[in-house]
Amino acid sequence: MSDRAVEAPAERLPLRVRLALYDLDGVTLLVLPAVLFVIALFVYPFAYGFVLSFEPKKGAWFANYAKFFSDPFLYDTIEATFRLAIPATLINVLVSIPVALRVRRMRNRRVLTTILVIPITLGTVLIAEGLLNYLGPQGWFNRTLMLFGLGQIRLVHNYTGVMLSLILSGFPFTFLLTLSYLTGIDPSLEQAAATLGAKARARFWTILMPLLAQGLAINLCLSFVQTFSVFPSAVLLGAPAGATRVISIAAYQAAYEQYDSSMASAIAMIMGFCQLFVVVLILAARRFVYRGAAGGGKG
């Protein structure tokens, strides 16, 4: 008996201990539902769509892609989408910086945050409806203009309408993200810069911006992906047959008006590739900025 007791540690460790060495324990199992979810609702549909896009109704395996890139009615949607997504993303992210800079020092930040979160919770459709009523030809905005003899401005059913809606629904999101990145920067860094003679402008460019850059990159990616897949506001507030015929509309029409799910999958793949291209570009640009912690080291 005593011999066995001495030998025991030399034997293989119990499974639980060996797993624990790799940081695997019972809690790890909690990840399982999420993994299944991702496989069922992302990996499988993506793979399925990818394969489907190469099984056109007629023609060679790449016929869908050939058709897309030979028909201006289809390939122009890429440009239309970029023309909306890039300015909307830039406006949202760039405007969020000065606002967040000021709000960071406010005492009752929660009131403002709540007000800004409301557009997110309302959803795009409600915002679109609201804008239609308020900015439309008979909305009170134009009526007020007419009252002062200033004529009418066309703000809906065109590019401007969609852009306004993208800013309205996207800004709170980018703002909250920028605010959280900004509050993560140790305020004593700015104080130190001030005691060393840096004025507000210099502090912004030499301290805040470099430390904020990686957060802004993430913010740009998320905001871009969100605006690139614009659909409801492009249909409701835009000109879905003209200037705001975005790529998601083309995919929708292929799937539900022409019942060509193979073509729709191909368009979805092209759309995904465009998004991936921009995201990779932004993330690659991050190599030029500081990516460590925004605090003062070990401090």
Partner 1 sequence: MVIAARDFRELRLDGMSRNFGAVNALTGVTLSVRRGEFIALLGPSGCGKSTALNCLAGLLTVSSGSIWLDKTRIDRLAPEERGFGMVFQNYALFPHMSVRKNIGFGLSMQGLAKAEIARKVNEALAIVRLGDQGYKLPGQLSGGQQQRVAIARAIVIEPPLVLMDEPLSNLDAKLRLEMRAEIRRIHELIGSATIYVTHDQEEALSLADRIVVMRAGEVRQVGTPEDLYSRPAHPDVAEFMGYRNQIGSRAEKSGNLLNVIVGGVSLAGTPVDGAGEGSVVAAIRPDDLKVAAGGPISVRVESSQYHGQDFYCSGRTDDGAELYFRSEKKVTKGDSVRLAADASRVLVYSRAAS
Cα–Cα distance, 299 to 296 (Å, whole number): 6
Task: Please answer whether residues 261 and 53 qualify as being in contact, where contact means their C-beta atoms are separated by less than 8 angstroms.
Answer: no
Total residues binding partner 1 (CB under 8 A): 26
Per CB under 8 A, which region of 63-71, 74-82, 145-153, 206-214 contacts partner 1?
206-214
Query: Binding segment for partner 1 among 36-44, 46-54, 96-104, 203-211 (CB under 8 A)?
Result: 203-211
Contact range with partner 1 by CB under 8 A, out of 3-11, 35-43, 148-156, 197-205: 197-205
8 Å CB contact between 209 and 181: no
Smallest gap from residue 105 Cβ to partner 1 (A):
13
Encoded amino acid at 60, one letter: A
Residue with tokens 């940081």: 23
Q: How many whole angstroms separate alpha carbon 128 and alpha carbon 155?
A: 12
Cβ proximity to partner 1: between 167 and 192 the closer is 192
Check binding of 201 to partner 1 (CB under 8 A): no
- Binding status of residue 106 toward partner 1 by CB under 8 A: no
Decide: is 192 part of the binding site for partner 1 (CB under 8 A). yes
- 127-166 mask for partner 1 (x: CB under 8 A)? ----------------------------------------
Task: Considering the complex, state which of residue 101 and residue 198 has its C-beta at the smaller distance from partner 1.
Answer: 198
Q: Which stretch binds partner 1 (CB under 8 A): 73-81, 142-150, 251-259, 290-298?
A: 290-298
Site for partner 1 in 207-226 (CB under 8 A): 207, 210-211
Q: Is 202 in the site for partner 1 (CB under 8 A)?
A: yes
Is 117 or 194 the residue whose CB approaches partner 1 more closely?
194
- Rounded CA gap, 269 and 275, in Å? 10
Q: Does 242 bind partner 1 (CB under 8 A)?
A: no
Pattern of binders to partner 1 over 170-189, x per CB under 8 A? ----------------x-xx
Q: Is 99 in the site for partner 1 (CB under 8 A)?
A: no
Q: Using the rule CB under 8 A, is 293 a contact of partner 1?
A: yes
299 binds partner 1 (CB under 8 A): yes
Residues in touch with partner 1 (CB under 8 A): 186, 188-189, 191-199, 202, 206-207, 210-211, 290, 292-299
